[in-house]
Structure 1
């Protein structure tokens, strides 16, 4: 059975969607689950169970695989369930029983016949011809990749193999591997779980979609009773009365109780202690996935840090230092480190010219550089540990590098030497604009005021302008570097910087107008009043492509902070049309949590822009992953993973924000890099023009791609 078909692009998936080894191994496991379910079902007394199983008896749900098969089979509608049999049916049943008494192997052959229809045949098959086992596997993979971010299909198959095709066991393993906090754990009532279950049902082509979803909910509401009953039956055959009882339970609309927690039953089912979800020898893809989780956690900290700045102070001056040097490593907790590093850089290396903004398009570059710095810090203190293990320590410590080091610290480690090496490695890995000055600040100067700074930042409220001013005074240490420029910008570099700033200001004006309109609409509907703060996170590539010559998309998603009348700040999500003349009414919703775990947007994830979305599905992309499961979008899970992997790792080089925030009085090394980049671009353009002239009419030439993000 291990020689299985390989799914290709003609099947509606990407060429790397399936792996021969994993698929064959997992299908063999699934066949075992179906054999066990067939042995338990009373097929002779209820022959309609066989076609119902073949049609809808998928092995995924919120119980163990065998229980799921049985439950999904009996919830598939038929007239026979729960109805008394007619006299003729009883006579035929007795006749069959007498025949089987003379031929004891007849019943076994009947079950083998059903099982043979479940086992996959040789060679590829179209989606509509796939067996219930194959559809179950597709549903399992779809659930995991729709629920978990940064989970490629290959990893999903690996986890399913380890979990013996048990969905909740696989979820438990992934959560353990990713060091999930309690608040991020799998919750049966969450929006993310409901969405993933719908994706699984679509992928498995469940014939009774709504009935399947209702049956899964009903199973959860009776999970303990059903599990105990079926476990007590053991290897015994279920009776018609058992099926009738089970069917009655699964069709009754019972409200879920807090005590119904399917994940509590996972340790009872899982009997493979040799499988360790935190193994050292992990595949490279798993490390890449862990980096994505780390980036999400870092983004949470940056949103919290932004909310603690006085909005006017952030918009007038600190936005620059936040993006250039506001890293989350240092001697404090991550949020305090971001604030301290931002204020220190702005104090020590003030801009030669103020540049006020209303919008920060994305934080991903400083976030990605922070992650590099954190990993380098831990590994510099403990060179023997792997990058993956360093990430594990950071996740377990909620990115507090001091706590991470204490976790990994050996008894012989010299803490002072560890810190020295760590900061040197972190500033280098994070491409700090002033590494020597920062090292002197954090290792030597900061120690004289560290207690006062910690006390000032201890509370979680928004800091006042006077508190920021006090912090500025505390962190005012002399710089070890000269501020004189070492090299001048070339004419081409100056022109490019001017163009980027002009484009940024044009976009900012458009976005701010739309956000203000959305906030006004919200205020009118709720009868409240807000002042708009900073817009942090903008994705203008949502929905379908529009335009012909200038490619743009239908909508923009963004987060912004707004200040309430009592002085507290709230994070909002907004969606608006990119067409200035559109009648589409911009709207916004407050988002109560900062985590991006609960709700996913395929458009924002594909662009690598972390935006917190509301649970309401009224925004474009709210059901995007369901459309992916139905094959209605060109975006795929593999495409999202590959693109995010590329973007999150692309921290070197020069980006658009570097051009916008370049200061001739501060950034000598960056100026040299920008000048060189312009020289390369012009050189490439000259070569391109020569190639164009040399191409005959009707010919083709390779296109250049921009490295700027």
Structure 2
């Protein structure tokens, strides 16, 4: 991130996007690979001592798995043994065995890049070296550097068998499904497995001089060694009894005990922190949209000035900034057709601007902060300036935070993670609140920064009698609530003045297309009424032809229960066929992950950079099979092999580059902005010539 020169106001620290990220050089990559291959070779020598000579001349299994690397090799070697005995061949992994250590390293890299978005292969190597080639220990280090402090609170499906299968596919393992099946069996009886693995090295007093060299070295009689191996083999083959299967978070907890010293990294991975913070901020905007009244009345104001920084919690700041701007600078016209949709790119852009506003506030307020330190503080504070800056509200060291519990939008308890005390420990602020908010407004490209500074430094006093409205209960804000807040925030504005209407008939192509989407979504769950479509990706499954055609769309929308029951708003995910085939479409409730937790991955949505919340327990296009095809060098769209001379259409590096471009987008107009042009500037716009893809999704 780049600091903008500002000689006229030297006290302000204003940051803008920069694409200068640190990645290991080719020389560093080569050095890391050599170091890791040496380490992995030592793992295989240790594993050889745990297996009897009758099993292998040398271990044949990969070192990727859910335990420590040596145990993984032992388990995977027994899987290979079972496969060889059934097939009758001399080796199940003859091709892998030629260069097993290199393949194990490649599998570890594939494991990490499947588990984490935004992680290039070079950084995966870097983290594996920091973790001594232990994949799950490396994953814990990555989580720490991502600022994913609530990774443990993520959906169970975030940590599943998919990374193991992709790792196996990436190195040409002959039977990835069998490997996954065996580890799933182990997961169902992990306590017994750990006990048996520990016994392989447990000393025994009944060793005799007639035992083999291996048994004497292990101090374990051959009979006991054979028994242990037999029990492990049966576990791999037979699996746990019904009902014993469980998620694999036990492996995550075990990995915490394998790192006795803290893992230091001389490099700063600011981009990883930014992505975590942007995902958290996106959640705040989804909730703010749910609390505001339905319809497009406030979409223009939210996209132009509804930032999440301010003296309140992030969602309240979004609501206050949006209502104030809509009141202080109301549109001169109003759309005749009320669109319950907000542009995907415009929403992401205001979220990105909010991040730079938050960071610029802290760096201006405390000059000893650089951008990376500001992001660290914001992650600890859940992007809440009241928690990040102890001098913003000295009498209050906690503020409510928001989240989606289950499928319902609701306020969550304050973050359980420790608050950031870095600022407090380093002394008083270097600048005033006015200067810090001015830096935030400037960095966020606010249309009238000086006016926003005046608002943010006085809104708590202005709203004192109405603050309970922002302590959200179970119901969203009514129009009467909004009107009351507007009169308090901007009493001099005539909010109820009559406005002209912009004639915008339903026959306009994009609007007709969206109306059809509303209808189809409403039919999926008649108990709910559509509130707002808040994220669309119509580039799922494809392109399959020229001009490009895509098979499906992924959509997030907020809906509320219909009367007479009523109730709080809920977040939904829909996969909609672009060919109007209803049998291929579905929608379901989704739970918004808590701030700084992991997201359910989707190859197609990540590829174009959209922040769409996906379901954890339902399969969808882009969740599993597409990642598996990509891992083994095939085209995810059709499963065909990608020729060596042609770069793959979908690849990990391409996904990362696209997401980075989308995440750093804070400037420039989009097609969807033209929808609001006539509301402010009385310009004529030919919406009929804009397709739905251009209007809401074009990158």
> Which interval holds the TM-score relative to the shorter structure?
0.7 to 0.9
Give the C-alpha shift of residue 368 in structure 1. Answer: 0.6
Aligned to 1:456: 469
Q: 2:293 aligns with which of 310, 319, 324?
A: 310
The structure-2 alpha-carbon separation of the partners of 1:190 and 1:617, relative to structure 1 and needing over 3 Å to count, comes to closer
Which secondary structure state, in structure 2, belongs to the residue aligned with residue 575 of structure 1?
Answer: strand
Aligned to 2:404: none
Residues 690-709 of structure 1, C-alpha deviation per residue, up to 9 Å, x if partnerless?
xxxxxxxxxxxxxxxxx974
Give the C-alpha shift of residue 50 in structure 1. Answer: 4.1
Aligned to 1:629: 631
Aligned to 1:262: 251
Which secondary structure state, in structure 2, belongs to the residue aligned with residue 622 of structure 1?
Answer: coil
Give the C-alpha shift of residue 404 in structure 1. Answer: 1.5
Report which stretch shifted further, 230-239 or 131-140.
230-239
Query: 2: CA distance between counterparts of 1:80 and 1:145?
Result: 30
The structure-2 alpha-carbon separation of the partners of 1:665 and 1:269, relative to structure 1 and needing over 3 Å to count, comes to closer
Give the C-alpha shift of residue 328 in structure 1. Answer: 0.5
Aligned to 1:147: 115
Aligned to 1:124: none
Give the C-alpha shift of residue 141 in structure 1. Answer: 1.4
Query: 2: CA distance between counterparts of 1:333 and 1:131?
Result: 55
Query: 1: CA distance between counterparts of 2:57 and 2:492?
Result: 80
Pairing 1:608–2:591 present = no
Number of residue equivalences:
574
Query: 2: CA distance between counterparts of 1:423 and 1:135?
Result: 52
Q: 1:351 aligns with which of 331, 354, 361?
A: 331
The structure-2 alpha-carbon separation of the partners of 1:345 and 1:186, relative to structure 1 and needing over 3 Å to count, comes to closer
Aligned to 1:209: 176
Give the C-alpha shift of residue 401 in structure 1. Answer: 1.7
Give the C-alpha shift of residue 348 in structure 1. Answer: 0.8
Query: 1: CA distance between counterparts of 2:485 and 2:445?
Result: 25
Q: Is the 8 A contact 1:160 1:170 kept in 2?
A: yes
Query: 2: CA distance between counterparts of 1:49 and 1:622?
Result: 37
The structure-2 alpha-carbon separation of the partners of 1:17 and 1:431, relative to structure 1 and needing over 3 Å to count, comes to farther
The structure-2 alpha-carbon separation of the partners of 1:135 and 1:441, relative to structure 1 and needing over 3 Å to count, comes to same
Give the C-alpha shift of residue 80 in structure 1. Answer: 9.0
Q: 1:230 aligns with which of 183, 197, 209?
A: 197
Pairing 1:138–2:106 present = yes
Q: 1:242 aligns with which of 213, 224, 228?
A: 228
Structure of larger gyration radius? 1
Aligned to 1:662: 677
The structure-2 alpha-carbon separation of the partners of 1:415 and 1:454, relative to structure 1 and needing over 3 Å to count, comes to farther
Residues 565-608 of structure 1, C-alpha deviation per residue, up to 9 Å, x if partnerless?
3323222212223346x576432222133568342111111111
Pairing 1:378–2:362 present = yes
Pairwise mapping of residues 527-546 of structure 1 onto structure 2 (< 5 A)?
Answer: 528-546=526-544
The structure-2 alpha-carbon separation of the partners of 1:136 and 1:610, relative to structure 1 and needing over 3 Å to count, comes to same
Give the C-alpha shift of residue 370 in structure 1. Answer: 0.6
Q: Is the 8 A contact 2:542 2:548 kept in 1?
A: no
Query: 2: CA distance between counterparts of 1:593 and 1:641?
Result: 23
Query: 2: CA distance between counterparts of 1:304 and 1:376?
Result: 24
Aligned to 1:22: 32
Residues 209-267 of structure 1, C-alpha deviation per residue, up to 9 Å, x if partnerless?
22211221233334344335434516727622221122223334221468972233224
Query: 1: CA distance between counterparts of 2:548 and 2:522?
Result: 28
Give the C-alpha shift of residue 396 in structure 1. Answer: 1.1
User: TM-score under structure 2 normalisation?
Assistant: 0.75
Q: Is the 8 A contact 1:76 1:211 kept in 2?
A: no
Pairing 1:75–2:79 present = yes
Pairing 1:387–2:394 present = no
Query: 1: CA distance between counterparts of 2:150 and 2:57?
Result: 41
Query: 1: CA distance between counterparts of 2:435 and 2:98?
Result: 57
Q: Is the 8 A contact 2:341 2:534 kept in 1?
A: yes
For structure 1, list consecutive stretches of 5 or more residues without a partner in the other structure. 1-14, 83-113, 119-126, 480-497, 676-706
The structure-2 alpha-carbon separation of the partners of 1:128 and 1:543, relative to structure 1 and needing over 3 Å to count, comes to farther
Q: Is the 8 A contact 1:541 1:554 kept in 2?
A: yes
Q: Is the 8 A contact 1:178 1:392 kept in 2?
A: no
Query: 2: CA distance between counterparts of 1:265 and 1:556?
Result: 39
Q: Is the 8 A contact 2:147 2:273 kept in 1?
A: no
Q: Which has the higher contact order (CA 8 A, sep 6+)?
A: 2
Query: 1: CA distance between counterparts of 2:151 and 2:622?
Result: 25
Query: 2: CA distance between counterparts of 1:430 and 1:513?
Result: 35
Q: Is the 8 A contact 2:170 2:631 kept in 1?
A: yes
Which secondary structure state, in structure 2, belongs to the residue aligned with residue 588 of structure 1?
Answer: strand
Query: 1: CA distance between counterparts of 2:349 and 2:285?
Result: 12
Pairing 1:49–2:56 present = yes
Q: Is the 8 A contact 2:166 2:628 kept in 1?
A: yes
Aligned to 2:394: none
Aligned to 2:587: 588
Give the C-alpha shift of residue 206 in structure 1. Answer: 2.5
Give the C-alpha shift of residue 318 in structure 1. Answer: 0.6
Which secondary structure state, in structure 1, belongs to the residue aligned with residue 333 of structure 2?
Answer: coil
Query: 2: CA distance between counterparts of 1:577 and 1:77?
Result: 45
Pairwise mapping of residues 493-512 of structure 1 onto structure 2 (< 5 A)?
Answer: 506-512=509-515
Q: Is the 8 A contact 2:107 2:167 kept in 1?
A: yes
Q: Is the 8 A contact 1:310 1:463 kept in 2?
A: yes
Query: 1: CA distance between counterparts of 2:246 and 2:583?
Result: 41
Q: 1:554 aligns with which of 551, 555, 562?
A: 551
Query: 1: CA distance between counterparts of 2:253 and 2:192?
Result: 14
Q: Is the 8 A contact 2:165 2:179 kept in 1?
A: no
**RMSD (Å), alpha carbons:** 3.4
The structure-2 alpha-carbon separation of the partners of 1:505 and 1:616, relative to structure 1 and needing over 3 Å to count, comes to farther
Pairing 1:360–2:327 present = no
Q: Is the 8 A contact 1:40 1:237 kept in 2?
A: no
Residues 646-681 of structure 1, C-alpha deviation per residue, up to 9 Å, x if partnerless?
1211212333343332367579xxx9xx99xxxxxx
Give the C-alpha shift of residue 630 in structure 1. Answer: 2.5
Q: Is the 8 A contact 1:81 1:247 kept in 2?
A: no
Query: 2: CA distance between counterparts of 1:662 and 1:237?
Result: 81
Name the structure with the higher helix share: 1
Give the C-alpha shift of residue 191 in structure 1. Answer: 4.9
Query: 2: CA distance between counterparts of 1:80 and 1:663?
Result: 72
The structure-2 alpha-carbon separation of the partners of 1:502 and 1:599, relative to structure 1 and needing over 3 Å to count, comes to farther
The structure-2 alpha-carbon separation of the partners of 1:594 and 1:132, relative to structure 1 and needing over 3 Å to count, comes to same
Pairwise mapping of residues 646-661 of structure 1 onto structure 2 (< 5 A)?
Answer: 646-661=661-676
Q: Is the 8 A contact 1:316 1:357 kept in 2?
A: yes
The structure-2 alpha-carbon separation of the partners of 1:223 and 1:260, relative to structure 1 and needing over 3 Å to count, comes to farther
The structure-2 alpha-carbon separation of the partners of 1:248 and 1:460, relative to structure 1 and needing over 3 Å to count, comes to same
Query: 2: CA distance between counterparts of 1:661 and 1:79?
Result: 64
Pairing 1:190–2:172 present = no
Residues 515-564 of structure 1, C-alpha deviation per residue, up to 9 Å, x if partnerless?
422431x33xxxx522122111111111112553x434222211112221
